[in-house]
Structure 1
């Protein structure tokens, strides 16, 4: 669970939280790199299974590192836009899942995609879950 301020941005059909959006800074000013956090039980379990089946390596090969780098940049820009211009302390760095290159966590990419982010890795995760017959919350 996140340690700072957050809000629910995606809910399941029955109203349960699926994706949380975290503030980019904790109350003490510590950077929080993970903007979107996947918390829905169904989604977390299904994506964990996909990761265990080698999904990280598969999606990196399909999408390519240059396209994934662009996802990280968009994620950083979205998160950085939430930081007050008066903030002069440390800022979160890196992209989706706190990584700088490649895919670290399919959960983070799927959460980003569900929250309306332009994330082809998250979209690929959704396609894989569709193929496996997994129901999940609808993206924004």
Structure 2
């Protein structure tokens, strides 16, 4: 269950109404949602494989800067060379699939088909740090590359919340 204030904050963060929100999975140190957990299927039945969705635009921007610096190439190289790291990343992938399947069962909807991707390229590629960081924020200690990326980020929240939410205001202000 998600409160109206959080729904308003997420809508302001995304610039649109969020779809299929189940709950806030992680909060920014400023108190606003940073990651939401979404339903494996949208209300119309459309598959939605992204279980953990990063909503904070300041965090997303910082991650984009990190991605632009080429860190994913190094991660991919280490994934191929380090069996222990590969095992941890595979465990993160399996955790993601397990949680997504549990969410489908809790919602009373058909789970996504076997073989549907998890997120961020898991378990064989490092494709999207936004998804990997969202997973790590939602389930601390599970995603080795999400943790690395999170540790490399600046404290994006220090300058204040990314949006100003007044429960009576239909148009929250966005500070990007």
Provide the residue aligned with 2:95 in structure 1: 74
TM-score (norm 2): 0.65
Distance 1:122 1:51 in 2: 12
- 2:77 alignment partner, SS class: helix
For each residue in 1:94-139, what CA deviation from the matched residue of structure 2 results, as whole angstroms up to 9, or x when unmatched? 112376631210000001001115100111112222xxxx1157xx
Question: Distance in 2 between the 1:77 and 1:32 partners?
Answer: 15
Q: Which runs of 4+ in 1 moved over 6 A?
A: none
SS at match of 1:81: helix
Q: Which residue matches 2:169?
A: none
Gaps of 5+ in 2: 1-13, 158-176
Pairing 1:3–2:19 present: yes
In structure 1, runs of 5+ residues without a counterpart are: none
**How does 1:98-137 map onto structure 2 within 5 Å?**
101-117=124-140, 118-129=142-153, 134-136=154-156
Cα RMSD (Å): 2.5
Q: Give the structure with higher Rg (CA).
A: 2
